[in-house]
Chain A
Amino acid sequence: MANPTDAEAGAGLAGDRTEATSDLYRFKKRVTNLNKWSKLLWSLVRAVLLIGMCFVILYPILLKVSASFKSMEDLTNPAVMWIPEHASWSNYKLAMNVMDYFTAIRNSITLSLVTTVLQTFSCALAGYAFAKLKFKGMNVLFAGVILTILVPPQTILVPSYINFKSFDLFGLFHLIAGHGINLLDTYWPFILPAITGNALKSGLFIYIFRQFFRGISKEIEEAAFVDGAGVFKSFRSIMLPNAIPAMVTVMLFAFVWQWNDSYFSSNFLPSMNTLTTATQALPYKVNVMLNQTASNVDPFYASMLVDTGLLLSIFPLILMYLFVQRYFVESIDRTGLVG
């Protein structure tokens, strides 16, 4: 803004200047105008692009929300597109019944919370050691972390399954009970790896923590050591409070991935009802339920119930995301995801 006014004032002062300078002035003005226009155009294009893509992301969710409130009449009513005329909670009630929602949500929350907390702590510990407490042979161990990231879970699922089916620690349980303990359908197959930092995606979390702790300057830590703090104390009172952004990221990811995991939970918890297994079984169960009352199942109605159930299963996640989102979105630049 400053340049044109200056130039104008200058032009006014000089009165009749030479042709060349006024040409230059006009040219400059045109360029700034052009810049302004291209900027405006760019922000318009950007807005259209971003709004369009936000719509693409939100569309399936909005669709399900709208479907979940519809009743049978709304389904057949061609005038109803988005907002149902006879909105009701009946779909929710039915879906909750079919899924045994409250048991499922309790199981899911317990499982995800426990593993998240344990995993965050154990991965922070390991990540800190990898970043700051160097010793010989550490690189070999870190290669092990990378290996846990690379190996697909399918490779170790079968042996882990057999292992947890008759779990044994150094043949100890064999001595006492004569056979291993069956840990399937308990939380232990998730808790034990979580405590030791080898649960779902733990390698990635250790990597994130390592990158983050490497970024914390040596001086802060050394100041603590000079003041007489031990390694433990500096970890607890200097490093962990500083690592809150990384911890939020890791906790969010750990919680969400555990919550959404159907692979391990369907194998290790075959008869426990978690939200993911309930959701997976939902289409089948809805069909069975509808078959009991009617001779032929209306596919529209069935899929409406399934959609409602799916919404119910992601609802806790969305609720949590609404609270954490601000912190998460603002803090990614400090999480040390980037070395």
Chain B
Amino acid sequence: MMRLAKRSFQQRKALTGMLFLTPWVLGFLFFFLVPIIDSIRYSFNDLKASDNGYTLTFEGWSNYRQALYVDANFTRNLTSVVTDMIVNVPLIIIFSLFIAVLLNQKFLGRSLTRAIFFLPVILASGVIASINNAGFMQQILNASMASGDPSGGTVNGFLQSIELKGMLLDIGVTESIVNYLTGAVDRIYEIISQSGVQIIIFLAGLQSISPSLYEASRIEGATGYEAFWKITFPMVSPLILTNLVYSIIDSFLNNKVTQQINSIAFQTLDFGLSSAMAWVYFSLIVVILAISVFLVSRKVFYHD
């Protein structure tokens, strides 16, 4: 009797679950799965728009061949986007973890600082990025005031790292590493504005670490440095994976390749080529994601 009641309750739950998911499943079918299958179809066809809809003529792999071998810009854009991603994502993750650790400590004006650091989440977008390109007046002004070199090119041209570079080279660090680091300092605005969401995720993770762990380590005589590497880092390592995936996806959302895909679809009106490019792009993202998740997930520590 008891068992029967329980089972029917479970069944009722499952039924409600299906009911709750019906809208999502319908939307998934109509606004995601159908378009995605259409997109595969277009990529193998030549699409001609006509008065009532469109006509497809099968072309095989020619759109893909066009994208990969004929188009002058596509592969070049792809490689530059991927290199940018490889350069930026590690910086974003290290930076956002560092900032999250800082913002998690107690100090005067903490909520104000947090509010400022989350501001890029609100403002970072394609349009705002174009703000910073459009602020060319200030660049010219900066250049005319002869502060730093005018080819700095960014709004934050005032942040130059010439002294840092000399110092590091004097210490004897390899030049490529120095260039990477100073490049990061020069692009600090770009990196800060891309790491808002990551800071939030890390901060939420840091706040969920139980304080008793730190207390115990302090009693045992661990320094703050040791506590970071032995407690904080392993505890947030699952979130490093999350943030890695998020940063990679985010870096592929709006760039030269997406602009090209878009312009080929809506300016050249070659929908087939555009779909083929989108699919090459998507498969590349999947491969990169799979490799990086595979590499990082082996190092991740799970508490339970």
Contacts and interface: CB of A to CB of B under 8 A. Distances in A.
Interface string A297-333: 0011001101100100110011001000110111011
Contacts of A232: 16
Interface string B230-242: 0000000011000
Contacts of A159: 34-36, 38-39, 42, 275
Contact of B126 (A47, A179, A262): A262
Nearest to A60: B155
B86 to A, nearest CB: 18
Contacts of B24: 122, 125-126, 141, 196-198, 206
Nearest to A328: B118
A133 B13 contact: yes
Interface size class of B (residues with CB under 8 A): 35 or more
Contact of A325 (B99, B118, B138): B118
Interface stretch (B64-72, B129-137, B161-169, B172-180): B129-137
Given A50-B113, A163-B34, A300-B137, A57 B119 contact: yes
A195 B28 CA distance: 11
Interface string A146-190: 011111111111111111001000000000000100000000000
Interface in A178-229: 179, 192-193, 195-198, 206, 225
Contacts of A333: 203-204, 207-208
B23 A195 contact: yes
A181 B200 CA distance: 42
Interface of A is mostly: helix
A121 B14 CA distance: 20
Contacts of A120: none
Contact of B266 (A260, A261, A267): A267
Contacts of B261: 154
A154 B205 contact: no
B120 A57 contact: yes
A9 interface: no
Given A60-B131, A196-B23, A325-B118, A263 B32 contact: no
Nearest to A329: B114
A327 B193 CA distance: 21
A56 B131 contact: no
Contacts of B188: 53, 56
A29 interface: no
Contacts of B42: 158-159
B107 interface: yes
B301 interface: no
A15 to B, nearest CB: 32
B94 interface: no
A261 B254 CA distance: 11
B127 A313 contact: yes
B200 A122 contact: no
Contacts of A198: 24, 27-28, 31-32
Residue among B9, B131, B189, B239 with the highest chain A CB neighbour number at 10 A: B131
A40 interface: no
Interface of A: 43, 46-47, 49-50, 53-54, 56-61, 63-64, 67, 122, 125-126, 128-130, 132-136, 138, 141, 144, 147-163, 166, 179, 192-193, 195-198, 206, 225, 231-232, 253, 256-257, 260-263, 267, 276, 279-280, 283, 299-300, 303-304, 306-307, 310, 313-314, 317-318, 321, 325-326, 328-330, 332-333, 335, 337-339
29 contacts: A53-B99, A54-B116, A56-B159, A57-B116, A60-B189, A64-B131, A67-B137, A133-B17, A134-B17, A154-B278, A155-B282, A156-B35, A158-B278, A159-B34, A159-B38, A162-B38, A192-B31, A196-B27, A198-B31, A206-B24, A283-B134, A299-B137, A299-B140, A300-B140, A321-B115, A321-B119, A332-B204, A333-B207, A337-B201
